[in-house]
Chains A and B, each alone.
Chain A
Amino acid sequence: AQSVTQLDSQVPVFEEAPVELRCNYSSSVSVYLFWYVQYPNQGLQLLLKYLSGSTLVKGINGFEAEFNKSQTSFHLRKPSVHISDTAEYFCAVSVVIKAAGNKLTFGGGTRVLVKP
């Protein structure tokens, strides 16, 4: 079974400052990695994903994440946040086995509050 740990439940940050959201996972098989964002009372929107290839992945809204296989991490970063980045962010993994039905295992989420 897989598990995902998001080390920070809440991250306050000032506008235009950088932010890093930490995500670690455990799995006995290869995984795909995802970051989703959820704005209040909305569904989840895909920010970025790592399937294979370059370990540095760029996503929407200026976010990027780096896959580190040795540390089993997939931390999300943005060099300069905006007020509109206030949301909850979820890290997720799925196993690279089609028969598993692409099921996602989510971390507990990190609430980002951007202050002016």
Chain B
Amino acid sequence: SQTIHQWPATLVQPVGSPLSLECTVEGTSNPNLYWYRQAAGRGLQLLFYSVGIGQISSEVPQNLSASRPQDRQFILSSKKLLLSDSGFYLCAWTRAETQYFGPGTRLLVL
């Protein structure tokens, strides 16, 4: 069966520090992968998606970037965090028409 992992589970970072969040999917190959952010009072916002290694589509201009160095690995990064980057980051993958979500990473930028 397929599983999706995210780490770390929680993270507290100072403003201006770098960020790296990792998402890994097991039990499938060539999945579509997604990064979402859930900020208080703002619902779920799609940040990036990827249909293959090295293929990244950005949905909104922002302080973040994404990379897919391996088929089942999706990384969310920032060079300098802003206060507004705080939120709950969710990774997801697609099997057929359906997206399945990871457990999430809670990021607090102070």
* Residue positions of A touching B, CB distance < 8 A: 32, 34, 36, 41-46, 49, 51, 90, 94, 96, 101-104, 106-109
Partner of A44, one of B51, B90, B94, B97: B90
Which residues of B line the A interface, CB within 8 A?
A: 6, 32, 34, 43-44, 46, 49, 51, 57, 59, 90, 92, 94, 97-104, 106
Contacts of B43 in A (CB 8 A): 90, 106-109
**B91 to A, closest residue via Cβ:** A43
> Which residue from chain B places its CB closest to the CB of A94 in the assembled complex?
B97
* In the complex, chain B residues whose CB is within 8 Å of the CB of A102: 32, 94, 97, 99
* Contacts A49-B98, A107-B43 given; does A101 touch B57 at CB 8 Å: yes
Q: State in angstroms the CA–CA spacing of A49 and B104 once bound together.
A: 22
Q: A42-B104, A101-B32, A103-B46 are in contact. Are A34 and B98 (CB under 8 A)?
A: yes
What are 8 inter-chain pairs, A to B, with CB distance below 8 A? A34-B98, A41-B104, A45-B101, A90-B44, A103-B46, A103-B59, A104-B44, A108-B43
CA distance A36 to B103 in the complex (A): 13
Inter-subunit contact A51/B103 (CB<8 Å):
no
Nearest CB to that of B43 among chain A residues? A108
* Alpha-carbon gap, A94 to B90, bound state (A): 17
A107 — nearest CB in chain B belongs to which residue? B43
Question: Given A90-B44, A108-B43, do A46 and B104 touch, yes or no (CB 8 Å)?
Answer: no
Report whether A42 and B44 are in contact in the complex, using a CB–CB cutoff of 8 Å. Answer: no
**A43–B46 contact, CB under 8 A?**
no
* Cβ contact of B106, chosen from A36, A41, A96, cutoff 8 A: A41
Closest to B99 in A: A104
Chain B positions within 8 Å of A51 at CB level: 97
A104 touches B103 (CB 8 A): no
User: How distant is the Cα of A43 from the Cα of B35 in the complex, in angstroms?
Assistant: 12
Report the separation of the CA atoms of residues A109 and B41 in the bound assembly, to the nearest whole angstrom. 10
Distance from A48 Cβ to chain B, minimum over Cβ atoms (Å): 10
Provide the residues of chain A in CB contact with B97, threshold 8 Å: 32, 49, 51, 94, 96, 102
Q: How far is the CB of A101 from chain B (nearest CB, A)?
A: 5
Residue among B6, B44, B51, B57 with max Cβ neighbours from chain A (10 Å):
B44
